[in-house]
């Protein structure tokens, strides 16, 4: 697994050092799904129906009803929902950011996770039971999975109609000191008034990360895990403020995760259809 990491890191460095090797996408000159105005806040709320399946045994699926989104892109600093960041370099084809991102796995364990609050509103919508691990079978109960944040570099690149991103993150909130590498490639299949974008990628989680969420003390001690995923997203603007949005996201869980006695599914499926209202 370490050799894979080295290859990924090498790819990141080589590609970033050769920005002319990539075919730059058109420069952003107007607001679009791909481009945002510098220095302006963007606040929107998606209302609709959707679900995210929960692979953790005894946990209910997570309904998606309200999805608030807030973003701000300055010249360097940006906030993209729950992910703040700082742009170190921005060219037509390559961008290098320093980002902070939450650990996603906690959403399966806690109703009060920030990401679930964002989805369901402060009153919650998922029938999770308590906000601790009480629904995990009692013989497997362990530590509470706390909110974690990971920090690291993120490389964004574009090549023709493809865009990609690769980030190498380390947990910095003192919970497990694990690592994650997130990579994805996106292709705009339709980019007219309708937008259809296909994504494929992976998340690699270090052993520390996997053990923090899916390990069971003295019973199951998993190693690192690699989860591939695909996602298709569609959007169509209906008016100046309203946009129809839909997406389906399928993530296949590594055996290191599904072999855990607290996990009962091999995948996580997230699907949502709704209307996005632009507040700001």
Contact residues: another protein, CB under 8 A? 25, 28-31, 33-40, 52, 64, 67, 69, 71, 73, 75, 78, 80-83, 85, 90, 95, 97, 104, 115, 118-119, 154, 156, 158, 163, 165, 182, 184, 186, 197, 199, 201, 203, 229, 231, 233, 235, 245, 247, 249, 270, 272
How far apart CA 195 and CA 175 sit, in angstroms, is 39
Pairing of strands 179-191, 62-73: unpaired
CA angle, 217 then 204 then 256, to 5°: 40
Number of Cβ within 10 Å of residue 268's Cβ equals: 23
In the complex, what is the shortest distance from the CB of residue 137 to another protein, in angstroms, rounded to a whole number? 27
Closer residue to another protein (CB): 69 or 220? 69
Closer residue to another protein (CB): 119 or 262? 119
Closest listed residue to residue 54, CA positions, set 118, 129, 123: 129
Closer residue to another protein (CB): 73 or 212? 73
In the complex, what is the shortest distance from the CB of residue 270 to another protein, in angstroms, rounded to a whole number? 6
Closest listed residue to residue 270, CA positions, set 91, 104, 23: 104
Pairing of strands 94-102, 149-159: antiparallel
Closer residue to another protein (CB): 71 or 132? 71
The tokens for 134 are 């009480």
In the complex, what is the shortest distance from the CB of residue 268 to another protein, in angstroms, rounded to a whole number? 11
How far apart CA 167 and CA 63 sit, in angstroms, is 28
Closer residue to another protein (CB): 52 or 175? 52
How far apart CA 51 and CA 82 sit, in angstroms, is 20
Compute and round to an integer the Cα radius of gyration of the chain: 19
How far apart CA 185 and CA 34 sit, in angstroms, is 14
In the complex, what is the shortest distance from the CB of residue 123 to another protein, in angstroms, rounded to a whole number? 18
In the complex, what is the shortest distance from the CB of residue 172 to another protein, in angstroms, rounded to a whole number? 18
The tokens for 186 are 């996106």
In the complex, what is the shortest distance from the CB of residue 76 to another protein, in angstroms, rounded to a whole number? 10
In the complex, what is the shortest distance from the CB of residue 52 to another protein, in angstroms, rounded to a whole number? 7
In the complex, what is the shortest distance from the CB of residue 140 to another protein, in angstroms, rounded to a whole number? 26
How far apart CA 147 and CA 44 sit, in angstroms, is 24
How far apart CA 48 and CA 110 sit, in angstroms, is 22
The tokens for 265 are 């599914």
Closer residue to another protein (CB): 72 or 220? 72
């Amino acid at each position: 697994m370490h050799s894979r990491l080295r290859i990924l890191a090498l790819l990141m460095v080589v590609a970033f050092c050769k920005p002319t090797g990539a075919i730059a996408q058109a420069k952003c000159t107007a607001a679009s799904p791909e481009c945002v105005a510098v220095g302006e806040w963007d606040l929107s709320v998606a209302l609709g129906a959707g679900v995210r399946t929960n692979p953790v045994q005894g946990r209910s699926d997570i309904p998606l009803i309200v999805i608030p989104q807030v973003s701000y892109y300055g010249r360097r600093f940006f906030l993209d929902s729950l992910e703040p960041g700082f742009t170190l370099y921005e060219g037509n084809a390559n961008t290098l950011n320093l980002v902070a991102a939450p650990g996603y796995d906690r959403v399966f364990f806690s109703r009060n996770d920030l990401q679930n609050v964002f989805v369901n509103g402060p009153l919650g919508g998922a029938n999770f039971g308590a906000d601790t691990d009480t629904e995990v079978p009692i013989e497997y109960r362990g530590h509470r999975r706390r909110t974690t944040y990971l920090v690291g570099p993120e490389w964004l690149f574009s090549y023709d109609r493809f865009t990609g991103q690769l980030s190498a993150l380390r947990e910095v909130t003192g919970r497990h000191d694990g690592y994650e590498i997130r990579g994805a490639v996106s292709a705009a299949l339709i980019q007219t008034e309708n937008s259809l974008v296909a994504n494929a990628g992976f998340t690699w989680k270090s052993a520390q990360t996997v053990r923090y969420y899916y390990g069971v003390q003295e019973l199951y001690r998993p190693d690192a895990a690699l989860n591939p995923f695909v996602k298709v997203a569609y959007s169509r603007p209906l008016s100046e403020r309203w946009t129809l949005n839909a997406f389906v996201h399928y993530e296949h869980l590594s055996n290191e995760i599904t072999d855990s006695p607290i996990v009962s599914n091999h995948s996580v499926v997230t699907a949502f259809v709704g209307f996005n209202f632009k507040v700001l």
